Amino acid sequence: MGGSRASSTYGDAVRDLRQQLASAPPGTPPRLAKRTSNLFRFREPPTGPVLDVSAFSGVFDVDPDARTADVGGMTTYEDLVDATLPHGLMPLVVPQLKTITLGGAVAGLGIESTSFRNGLPHESVLEMDNLTGNGDVVLARPDNEHSDLFFGFPNSYGTLGYAVRLRIELEPVRPTVALRHLRFANATECAEAIAEICKRHAHGDDAAPVDFIDGTVFGPDEYYLTLGRFTDDIGPRSDYTGNRIYYHSIRERTSDALSVRDYLWRWDTDWFWCSRALGAQHPLVRPLWPKRYLRSDVYRRIVAWDRRHRFSDRVRALTRAPRQEPVIQDIEVPVDRLAEFMDFFHRDVGITPIWLCPLRLRGTRTWPLYPLEPETLYVNVGFWSAVDLRDDEEVGDRNAEIERVVTALDGHKSLYSTSFYTEDEFRKLYNGAEHDQLKRRYDPDGRLPGWYDKCVRGR
Contact criterion met (CB below 8 Å) for 95 and 80:
no
Q: Closest by alpha carbon to 443, among 215, 76, 178, 131?
A: 131
Question: So what's the pLDDT on residue 2?
Answer: 45
Per mean pLDDT, which of 23-32, 169-178, 357-366, 450-459 is the most reliable? 169-178
46 versus 408: the higher-pLDDT residue is: 408
The dihedral through the CA atoms of 177, 292, 39, 435 has a sign that is: positive
Q: What is the pTM of this model?
A: 0.94
Angle at 425 between CA 419 and CA 431, to 5 degrees: 100
pLDDT digit string (tens) for 95-131? 999 999 999 999 999 999 999 999 999 999 999 999 9
Which fold does the domain 4-173+440-457 belong to in CATH? 3.30.465
- Per-residue pLDDT, averaged over 355-382, amounts to 95
Q: How does residue 45 score in pLDDT terms, banded at 50, 70 and 90?
A: low
pLDDT digit string (tens) for 301-319? 999 888 888 888 888 888 8
Helices 296-309, 311-318: axis angle to 10 degrees equals: 60
Domain ranges of the chain: 4-173+440-457
Question: In 221-284, which ranges are continuous DSSP H helix?
Answer: 246-252, 260-264
Contact criterion met (CB below 8 Å) for 146 and 138:
yes
Question: So what's the pLDDT on residue 5?
Answer: 41
pLDDT of 4 strictly over 50: no
